[in-house]
Amino acid sequence: MKKGNVLPPNSQRVGLKTDPKINAEIRNQTIKNLNLFKNGNEADISERIRCLNQEWDTERVLAVKASLMIFLSSYLGIRISRMWFLVTGATSVFMLWHALLGWCPTLPIIRKWGVRTEAEINSEKIALKIIRGDFVAEGTTAADYLNMAEK
């Protein structure tokens, strides 16, 4: 991060706020996944990429958890006690904190479970596409390159 920047880059904010040991465990698991396909056939690699496209990343897991907390605490605030609205407010503050800085109280737990960021998932997909041979230059236009990346 450049001196004077308060907010971390979007693609790095979760990784910067995660314990380096957990980041290393997630990276090592990705390498193990890639080793399974190092000499794999195209169909198996394509199926793995399809699975990766369905994998939930940290942002999606946090959004679902926060939505459930806000819904539940709002319901309890209406039905049981107004004190439950404090949970609603705290959840929204933590989500704002996460959006800006990349950390919230549940993030360490989610990362310990092995939930990866979108960038980490995309890195595995790109590595699999390299193994599969998707990036053999077949064209010279920007559209050709984008088509290779999207394959």
| Tens digit of each residue's pLDDT (9 = 90 or more) over 107-125 | 999 999 999 999 999 999 9
Cα gap 109→80, rounded to integer Å: 29
pTM of structure = 0.85
pLDDT value at position 3? Answer: 58
What is the residue whose two structure tokens read 């979007």?
10
81: CB partners within 8 A, 6+ apart: none
pLDDT value at position 139? Answer: 67
Helices assigned H by DSSP within 80-117? 85-101, 107-112
Phi-psi region of 4 (alpha: psi -120 to 50; beta: other; left: phi over 0): left
Q: CB burial class (10 A; 0-12, 13-18, 19+) of residue 96?
A: exposed
Domain regions of the chain by residue span: 11-55+116-151, 57-113
Q: In tens digits, what is the pLDDT along the chain, a chain of 151 residues?
A: 455 677 888 888 899 899 999 999 999 999 999 999 998 899 999 999 999 999 999 999 999 999 999 999 999 999 999 999 999 999 999 999 999 988 899 999 999 999 999 999 999 999 999 899 887 766 677 787 777 776 6
| Tens digit of each residue's pLDDT (9 = 90 or more) over 73-97 | 999 999 999 999 999 999 999 999 9
pLDDT value at position 138? Answer: 66
What is the residue whose two structure tokens read 């092995």?
114
Extract long-range pairs of 86-90: CB within 8 Å, 24+ residues apart: none
